[in-house]
Every structure is written in structure tokens, then in C-alpha cells.
Homo-oligomer: A and B are copies of this chain.
Amino acid sequence: MSTIERTLALVGDRWTILVLRAAFRGIHRFDDFCADLGIGRPILTARLRKLVAAGLMERVPYQHHPPRYEYRLTPKGTALSPAIVALVRWGDENMSTTPPTTRLVHAPCGTELEQGFWCKTCAVRFGPTAIRGVPDAAQA
């Protein structure tokens, strides 16, 4: 099983990306995920467990008396944000029936962000058509 196959076995379903995106938006508690996403409780349980096991989220106690836990993104989970942002943006541009209600902006200045590829040798930004896949010679 290749890396991308393992990646999709983890995040490739209708809910996992939505759960991660909710976490990005500041949702951290079980019932809040349920309410925000309309996800069924058993499925949410399974997804959260999978994400915790994979190290994308962690289950942290936020109160002890009745022990309660919330779910927070780890750096590994946060690192998935370019993929999620790309998906959201593609959706807004290609799948929306109504104008998007939220814009993603550069926090310091409020300008809508652009996403792209960068070549540090040429110091240029470029699009998908200038990508090539090459076999990596640096193998053990």
C-alpha cells in the first residue's frame, strides 16, 4: 500500500476532513462537533479515535470533576491545512450554488489568500500545469 493510499485510508471519507476543518474553526468538543457537522455520534466516535490514533488530534481533559475531554489538532493535524484549504477553495470555485459565506484571509492584513506552488530556485509562483513528477534517485 503506497503512502497516498495510506493517507486516503485515513482521511479519505466523507467526514474526517470535515471534522478536521471544524477543529480548525475552533470546535473541540464532542457535542459541538455533532451539532456543527450533523455527524452521527457513533461515526464521530470512530473518526475521533482514528484521528487520535494516527496522531492528528489529541484528546485532552478540560475539566476533572466529571472528567471531560476535548479534541485538539496536533502539529501533524495542523499540517494538513493546505490540503483542506485547497479543497475548500476548489469547492467554492467549482461546487458552490450560492456565494461562499466565509473568505479565508491573511490574518495580519485581511487580504483574501491565494494558494500556489513556489519554486525557490526560480523564485516564481506557478500553477499545476508546470508540475512534473520525477523518480527520486536518492534511494537507499
CB distance from A49 to the nearest CB of B (A): 18
CA distance A83 to B8 in the complex (A): 13
A63 within 8 A of B: no
Q: How far is the CA of A81 from the CA of B126 in the complex (A)?
A: 12
In chain B, what residue has the closest Cβ to A126?
B106
A62 beta carbon closer than 8 Å to chain B: no
Query: Is A131's CB under 8 angstroms from B105's CB?
Result: yes
Binds B, one of A27-35, A40-48, A107-115: A107-115
> B129 touching A119 by the CB < 8 A rule?
no
Does A60 belong to the interface (CB within 8 Å)? no
Does residue A138 face the partner (Cβ distance < 8 Å to B)? yes
Interface size class of A (residues with CB under 8 A): 35 or more
State the Cβ distance, A100 to closest chain B Cβ, in Å. Answer: 6
- Chain B proximity mask over A88-121: 1 for CB below 8 Å, otherwise 0: 1111111111011111111111110111111111
Whether A91 contacts B3 by the Cβ 8 Å rule is yes
3 pairs of A and B residues whose beta carbons are closest in the complex: A7-B91, A83-B86, A81-B128
Choose among B83, B97, B107, B120 the residue that contacts A131 (Cβ–Cβ < 8 A). B107
The 8 Å CB contact of A118, one of B4, B105, B116, B131, is: B116
